[in-house]
């Protein structure tokens, strides 16, 4: 009995070690498939402020995570390079009541300023911006709400896994291995939703650009990211 207990403990610790090794890591298979890390787990290399300067001190690298410090006024940060067709994955964890976001196709619009489509990241239970379905975690912010049936969100303080697939005009939002939103940027349904949003006056039409930056949003609260990787499709 005692021997069995030792074996169980060893296997448990081994599985934890293997999992930890996979954080901010690309396997040989990942590399072969074209994946690249956007965060090396040790520095802010490859990231800048939106204006192109160094990443502010309000963002810190802590225990293999890229963390926006609560009240640190770090501002939004962007990855170097632009992406059109891509698959992007990462893990995130928010503190209680915190709000953040992951933007893609982030670029400068002639009328509207610097904008991007936003995968909403937040504490659905306590964030002050939880009053609208299309503002909740996993939504295409202020435009499309995630599927209630398929959305499986872990609470504040726990890790969630995100995947965004953009191919041509089709975009998918995934949360914890479930596809919670799928839309076509050329569709009437998408354009009608944009017309009802805060982005209705943007020119060119919001969401119509086909290439842009990846952005991590700082919104005052604490949020941590890890295993940020992308591949071109």
What CATH code is carried by the domain that includes residue 204?
Answer: 2.60.120.560
pLDDT band of 1, cuts 50, 70, 90: low
Residue 17 placed within a domain: no
Residue 32 has pLDDT above 60, yes or no: yes
Q: What is the pLDDT of residue 131?
A: 95
Residue 1 placed within a domain: no
Q: What is the pLDDT of residue 22?
A: 87
Domain enclosing residue 61, as ranges: 26-232
Residue 206 placed within a domain: yes
Residue 6 placed within a domain: no
Residue 4 placed within a domain: no
Residue 127 placed within a domain: yes
How many separate domains does the chain show?
1
Residue 14 has pLDDT above 60, yes or no: no
Higher-confidence position of 8 and 78: 78
pLDDT band of 20, cuts 50, 70, 90: very low
pTM of the entire structure? 0.90
Nearest to 210, CA basis, from 176, 172, 170, 181: 170
Residue 192 placed within a domain: yes
Residue 128 placed within a domain: yes
The pLDDT tens digits for 87-102 are 999 999 999 999 999 9
Q: What is the pLDDT of residue 8?
A: 46
Rounded to the nearest 5°, which phi and psi values hold at 81?
95, 150
Dihedral angle over CA of 125, 180, 154, 131, nearest 10: -10
């Amino acid at each position: 009995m005692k021997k069995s207990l030792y074996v169980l403990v060893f296997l448990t610790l081994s599985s934890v070690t293997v999992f930890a090794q996979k954080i901010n890591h690309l396997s040989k298979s990942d590399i072969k498939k074209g994946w690249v890390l956007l965060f090396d787990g040790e520095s802010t290399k490859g990231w800048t402020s939106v204006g192109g300067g160094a990443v502010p001190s309000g963002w810190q690298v802590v225990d293999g995570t890229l963390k926006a410090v609560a009240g640190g006024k770090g501002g939004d940060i962007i990855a170097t390079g632009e992406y059109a067709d891509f698959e992007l994955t990462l893990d995130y964890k928010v503190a209680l009541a915190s709000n953040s976001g992951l933007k893609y196709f982030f670029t400068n619009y002639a009328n509207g300023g610097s904008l991007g489509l936003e995968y909403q990241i937040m504490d659905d239970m306590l964030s002050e911006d939880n009053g609208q379905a299309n503002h909740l975690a996993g939504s295409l912010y202020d435009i499309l709400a995630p599927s209630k049936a398929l959305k499986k969100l872990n609470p504040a303080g726990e890790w969630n896994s995100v995947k965004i697939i953009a191919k041509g005009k089709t975009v998918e939002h995934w949360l914890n291995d479930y596809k919670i939103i799928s839309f076509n940027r050329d569709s009437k349904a998408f354009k009608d939703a944009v017309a009802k949003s805060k982005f209705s006056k943007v020119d060119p039409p919001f969401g119509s650009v086909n290439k842009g930056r990846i952005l991590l949003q700082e919104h005052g609260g604490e949020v941590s990211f890890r295993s940020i990787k992308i591949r071109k499709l």
